[in-house]
Amino acid sequence: MLLFSALIACGDKDELDPDSYHWDVRVTGVENTCTEDQDGYSEDFVYSLDFTGSLTKLKIGYDGFATGTLKGCELEYESQVVGEPDRAGGAVQWVLSGNAVQRTGGDICDMEDKVEEMRNDAEIADDVWGEFRDKYLMSNEPADIDWVGIETFEIVGSENESVEVGCSYTSFVAGTYRQ
């Protein structure tokens, strides 16, 4: 899942934006239609969110990677087209889209049910969920999760023979709010 790592490479500042809200999240790959590598991707990040009314900017560190709209607890977001010109095998371009349910702590948004809904939307099989639930949820109980969502990277341009336009990488994202 080098795509997301390439995006993050520019977001490794030591400090978080004090004007943003922050969640410790784990991004775990659940489907890869682009390559035969099915080993499973998992990486931890701090997602930062800025609000201007219902409009949002999603960041890692100070670097924005998507914009979206917040309606209650539900967030939909999308990146602009991102290019990887130096990718081995040829350049690719992709767009990230995501939907999430988030909260800044407390008992709102019925997160236990939302975790189950997102798991079903991501089509994570019961046996896989049972085996890897702690990994997906960072060892938290579903009711204690403050961010749960699904993100998809779709390839929209490719000069790489092994990566077809239209293929995608889908991830389950879960985490907790930083107070």
Model confidence pLDDT, tens digit, residues 109-139? 999 999 999 999 999 999 999 999 999 999 9
Interacting residues of 10 by C-beta distance below 8 A, sequence separation 6+: 63
- Within a 10 A sphere around the Cβ of 148, how many other Cβ atoms? 28
Interacting residues of 128 by C-beta distance below 8 A, sequence separation 6+: none
Mean confidence (pLDDT) of the chain: 90
> Length of the chain, please?
179
> Is there a contact between 147 and 25 (Cβ–Cβ < 8 Å)?
yes
pLDDT of residue 107: 85
Q: How far is CA 9 from the centre of its chain?
A: 15
Q: What is the pLDDT along the chain (179 residues), one digit of tens a residue?
A: 444 444 444 444 458 999 999 999 999 999 999 987 766 789 999 999 999 999 999 999 899 999 999 999 999 999 999 999 888 889 999 999 999 999 998 888 999 999 999 999 999 999 999 999 999 999 999 999 999 999 999 999 999 998 999 999 999 999 999 97
pLDDT of residue 67: 98
List the Cα angle 82/123/126 in 5-degree steps. 140
CA gyration radius for the chain? 16
- Interatomic CA distance for residues 132 and 69, integer angstroms: 30
Q: What are phi and psi of 80, to 5 degrees?
A: -80, 175
For residue 134, count CB atoms less than 10 angstroms from its CB and return exposed for 0-12, middle for 13-18, buried for 19 or more. Answer: exposed
pLDDT of residue 73: 94
Tokens 């682009």 map to which residue? 34
Amino acid identity, position 140: N
